[in-house]
Amino acid sequence: MTTFDNRKDAYETKFARDEELRFKATARRNRLLGLWAAEKLGKTGEDAQAYAREVIRADVAEPGDHDVFRKVRADFDAAGVACSDHQLRRTMDELLGTAVEQIEAEG
């Protein structure tokens, strides 16, 4: 193998690892967001866990975070929960950071 081949393989391995981390972090962020939103909606216990699963499932509608945002936004609006779009987006960003930290801490 040449140095170029080694470099290419290393880049491909890093890309695959980064994509896997992104996928896991997004799924975990959605679960954390679902639990956070469930608390705001007054859900506890199994109802909160079920709501978190709904938020995770909402992420398959389209690429990106828009589908998850719309689901939580609609649920907040329907329940009369006061939360600005900015606060919801900021919470999503913060929880993504938390999710990455948790995954990296797990090894």
Q: What is the DSSP letter of 64?
A: S
- Give the largest Cα separation in the chain, rounded: 62
Number of structural domains the chain divides into: 1
Segment 27-83, tens digit of pLDDT: 999 999 999 999 999 999 999 999 999 999 998 877 788 999 999 999 999 999 999
Q: What is the CATH number of the domain that holds 97?
A: 1.10.790.20
Whole-angstrom distance, CA of residue 88 vs CA of residue 82:
10
Q: Which residue has the higher pLDDT, 5 or 55?
A: 55
On the question of pLDDT at 18 being above 80, the answer is no
Range of the domain at 20: 3-106
pTM of the model: 0.84
Strand, coil or helix: what is 20? helix
Residue 1 has pLDDT above 80, yes or no: no
Is residue 75 within 8 Å of 38, Cβ to Cβ?
no
